[in-house]
Amino acid sequence: MAVTLTPNITDPDGFYTQLLAAHDGLSIEDSAALNARLILVLANHIGDRSVLTAALKAAKLEDS
């Protein structure tokens, strides 16, 4: 299964607002920990190691 890189979230602006709100009042360290937990929850939901590997590669390319 390929990684979906095109917009695929219903109400992306609403989700972005919700994501930012989850970080309100957190320290930088707590915010990073929240991000790490969210990544692990979503990775577990995906479950397919090949998809997760492709997602890591795609994210790393986005940083370059």
Q: What is the pLDDT of residue 61?
A: 81
Contact 31, 23 (CB under 8 A): yes
pLDDT digits (tens, 9 = 90+) for 6-17: 999 999 999 999
Contact 41, 47 (CB under 8 A): no
4 belongs to a structural domain: no
Q: Total domain count for the chain?
A: 1
58 belongs to a structural domain: yes
Q: What are phi and psi of 7, to 5 degrees?
A: -50, 130
13 belongs to a structural domain: no
**One-letter amino acid for residue 48 of the chain:** D
CA distance 49 to 45: 11
Q: Which domain holds residue 41?
A: 27-64
16 belongs to a structural domain: no
Q: What is the pLDDT of residue 62?
A: 65
